[in-house]
Structure 1
């Protein structure tokens, strides 16, 4: 799986509203010790913390969905990409890969 495909699957995690299905996606996309960081969260570690947080955040999303903007660049074990949340938010993320999974994501809001 290439970096773009893996990033799309990562965004699918954020769009999945069913916790069981979301956790199954996490198993295939994220390493067990994965870390997520953005301006609001200083470091969510592992699948359970991230899934719980996504579930809470989704209550504010309504029908909004994350979509991939552009993979700006990918090299070695990292990629920089843009995303959109409907028409209300955009951002940049840096993903770090470990083999065929994502080890960490650092997000920035635009």
Structure 2
């Protein structure tokens, strides 16, 4: 799986409303101890913590979906991409890979 494929699969995790299905997706996209940080969340670690936050966010978003606006760059074991949440929000994420899964995510809202 290419880095871009993994990034798209990662957004599928955020778009999955069902917690059980979301954790199943996470296992193929994120390492077990993946670290997630954004302006609202400092240091979430692992599938359970991230899934819990995604579940709360999904409840607030209704039918809004995250999409990739652009993969800005990929080099070595890192990538930078720009995302959109419907027409209401945009941001950037920097991800670090461990093989073909994501080890850490640092998100920025714009």
Q: What range is the shorter-chain TM-score in?
A: over 0.9
Query: How far has the Cα of 1:68 moved from its partner?
Result: 0.5
Q: Secondary structure at the match of 1:11?
A: helix
Aligned-residue Cα RMSD (Å) equals 0.4
Query: How far has the Cα of 1:28 moved from its partner?
Result: 0.3
* Pairing 1:83-98 to 2, within 5 Å after superposition: 83-98=83-98
Q: Secondary structure at the match of 1:17?
A: coil
Structure 1 residue ranges (4+ consecutive) displaced by more than 6 angstroms after TM superposition: none
Structure 2, gaps ≥5 residues long: none
Mapped partners of 1:57, 1:80: distance in 2: 22
CA shift digits 1:24-73 (9 cap, x unpaired) = 00000000000100000011100000001100111110110000110100
Number of residue-to-residue matches in the alignment: 110
Structure 1, gaps ≥5 residues long: none
